[in-house]
Amino acid sequence: MHAFISGFRQKVQESMEIRDRILVIEDDKSIRNFLMTILEANNYDVILATSGTEGYGLLTSQCPDLVILDLGLPDMDGIRILKQLRQWSSMPVIVVSARMHEKDKVEALDLGADDYITKPFGTSELLARVRTAIRHARAASRTPDGVQSGVFQAGDLKIDYDKHRVYVNDVDANLTQNEFKLVSLLGRYAGKVLTYDFIIKEIWGPNMDNNNRILRVNMANIRRKIEKNPAQPQYIFTEVGVGYRIVEPG
Ligand code: CA
């Protein structure tokens, strides 16, 4: 009897659970079906659009929690949809693009896309990107200025935002001030890729010419200080031609 009641309660809770709704705008049928299958199996509600016009209409009428947007659509460039959307909404957008199109990814990120996935992508990568983007959107709406405090911990890496220190295995990594700013910026957007231009503007200001050399030098120094093997980083990853991403806490 007891088991029956708790089972019943669980059912009621499940049916009352509010699911996040994801709009997929993708003209390729196999990718669309793949996305729908994975997302529905992981408790998301999915709305599908096969063209840019249809997708944009659903964006405005359905206000989904997240959009997965293919850049190469038959009737309209995905970038155009992103631009239009960003004029009135900050809802999270993950862009889907073909491999080797780094320029498109950077453009999409700089125009306000939250992340990208490259075809062909795997299930766990997709779900991680989706979770991260939704979580960041929620966090950003709670703390608009993104003021950081407390501690970020991922494996042996610890960022102490209050003390302005980074530790590896509880040993101070002795980062310089700019190196700390860089690591804490990545930590604030953990799991999300940040473009070179975005990082340079945040750390060195808008007047810094966007030459990546100074950023690369700083990153090399950071890696020497925090990674066991700087050539095979486990904390800060390079997204070739795009930028950097730090692991999610945990
Ligand atoms: Ca396409």
> For residue 1, what pLDDT is reported?
44
Same domain, 109 and 186: no
Burial class (CB in 10 A: 0-12, 13-18, 19+), 140: middle
Distance 176 CA to ligand 1 centre (A): 44
pTM of the model: 0.79
Query: Looking at 96, 114, 142, which one is the last position of a domain?
Result: 142
The vertex-196 CA angle with 124 and 227, nearest 5°, equals 65
DSSP state of 60: H
Task: Report H helices in 23-88.
Answer: 29-41, 52-62, 78-86
> For residue 222, what pLDDT is reported?
97
Distance 96 CA to ligand 1 centre (A): 9
How many domains in the chain? Answer: 2
Predicted confidence (pLDDT) per residue in 57-66, tens digit: 999 899 899 9
Q: Ligand 1 is a single-atom ion; what residues have CB below 5 A from it? A: 27-28, 70, 72
Same domain, 133 and 188: no
> For residue 10, what pLDDT is reported?
55
> With contact defined as beta carbons under 8 Å apart, do 232 and 226 qualify?
no
DSSP state of 247: P
Which residues in the chain land under pLDDT 70?
1-16, 99, 142-147, 210
Query: Looking at 121, 142, 163, which one is the last position of a domain?
Result: 142
Classify the phi-psi angles of 241: left when phi > 0, otherwise alpha if psi is within -120 to 50, otherwise beta. left
Same domain, 36 and 60: yes
Query: Looking at 142, 166, 186, which one is the last position of a domain?
Result: 142
Same domain, 42 and 114: yes
